[in-house]
Chains A and B, each alone.
Chain A
Amino acid sequence: EPEVTQTPSHQVTQMGQEVILRCVPISNHLYFYWYRQILGQKVEFLVSFYNNEISEKSEIFDDQFSVERPDGSNFTLKIRSTKLEDSAMYFCASRDTSYEQYFGPGTRLTVT
């Protein structure tokens, strides 16, 4: 069964450093998402991406965040200058024309 994959599974970085989280969505999907989950809290929407552009973003997704689909398979989330409060699980998701989103296993980001 096709699945969304994410790398790395765990990323540790120092405050102020840039990080890139990578995702490979399901191959025939057209809509891509990033969500985050702070430990013990609910999953929060960050951004949606369709047709090579951001279609919607949340208040969390400020100028420090960017997304890119550099080729036909990868979808990345970049945080330019990480803050302590960026520590969370980051989930990538994708879907086709239905509403059902498939989530990856997540990347745990730890900012020290």
Chain B
Amino acid sequence: GESVGLHLPTLSVQEGDNSIINCAYSNSASDYFIWYKQESGKGPQFIIDIRSNMDKRQGQRVTVLLNKTVKHLSLQIAATQPGDSAVYFCAENRGVLMGSSNTGKLIFGQGTTLQVKP
């Protein structure tokens, strides 16, 4: 079925600490995952992605880890800042092939609210 979920609805961290946001997915055939950040009143903003042939990918202050054995995805934010406060969604590409291209349909998880305390 189509199910991508997050373990915790709210995560509260102290400014400067590292944050870890988790996500579980159900489709073992999924090959592409994305983390989005959504600030209040705005659309989802791409943070980082990872393909299933990788276990880890790093960006600026963010790292995504993929554990295909347990179908688990996590987002690590280093030295969390007040500007990181937002809702974070994991999403899975569940598009189908149409001709030579993938439709790109994204299935989103429920979202985790990250609160950064000064």
Contact = CB atoms under 8 A, between A and B. Distances in A.
Interface of A: 4, 31, 33, 35, 41-45, 48, 50, 55-56, 58, 91, 93, 95, 97, 99-106
A16 B34 CA distance: 37
Contacts of A101: 34, 46, 104, 106
Contact of B46 (A43, A97, A102): A102
A97 B109 CA distance: 24
Query: Chain B, interface size: which category?
Result: 20 to 34
A34 B95 CA distance: 14
- Which one of B32, B43, B109 has the highest number of Cβ atoms from chain A below 10 Å of its Cβ? B43
B117 interface: no
Interface string B81-99: 0000000010101011010
A99 B32 contact: yes
A105 B45 CA distance: 10
B102 A103 contact: no
B43 A106 contact: yes
A35 to B, nearest CB: 8
Nearest to B32: A99
A103 B45 contact: yes
27 contacts: A4-B43, A31-B101, A33-B105, A42-B89, A42-B108, A43-B91, A43-B106, A43-B108, A45-B106, A45-B107, A48-B104, A50-B101, A50-B103, A91-B44, A93-B43, A99-B32, A99-B34, A99-B93, A99-B102, A99-B104, A100-B34, A100-B46, A101-B34, A101-B106, A102-B46, A105-B41, A106-B43
